[in-house]
Amino acid sequence: MNNAVQSDPPSFVRTVLGDIESEALGVCYAHEHIIIDRSYPTMMDPDFLLDSTEKAIVELSGFFAQGGRAMVDSMPCDSGRNVVKLAEISR
């Protein structure tokens, strides 16, 4: 007996620039660390610091050129995540 709950796929995806239709998502990398501002993790290991929007834009432009359209930034709250910078990169 299969007890799995069947449901319709979500009709939208929430992004740093607002909601989009799920069909518009395209190729998505699901676990990335795009921006890590100064925080506890970077105090413990300065090599974790990824605070440059300019460098992130350059690096991600190749992904975009190859058809990538979305990334899930997996940085937890209070650990260097910066949604303002993520939105800037997304634009």
CA distance 89 to 84: 9
Is the pLDDT score of 3 beyond 90? no
pLDDT per residue over 33-86, tens digit each? 999 999 999 999 999 999 999 999 999 999 999 999 899 999 998 899 999 999
**pLDDT for the residue numbered 77:** 86
Which is nearest to 85 in space by CA: 56, 45, 47? 56
The Cα–Cα gap between 24 and 76 comes to: 26
For the segment 11-36, what is each residue's pLDDT rounded down to a tens digit? Answer: 899 999 999 998 888 889 989 999 99
pLDDT for residue 25: 87
Report the Cα 67 to chain-centroid distance in Å: 16
What phi and psi, each to the nearest 5 degrees, are found at residue 3? -95, 10
> Is pLDDT at 8 greater than 90 in this prediction?
no
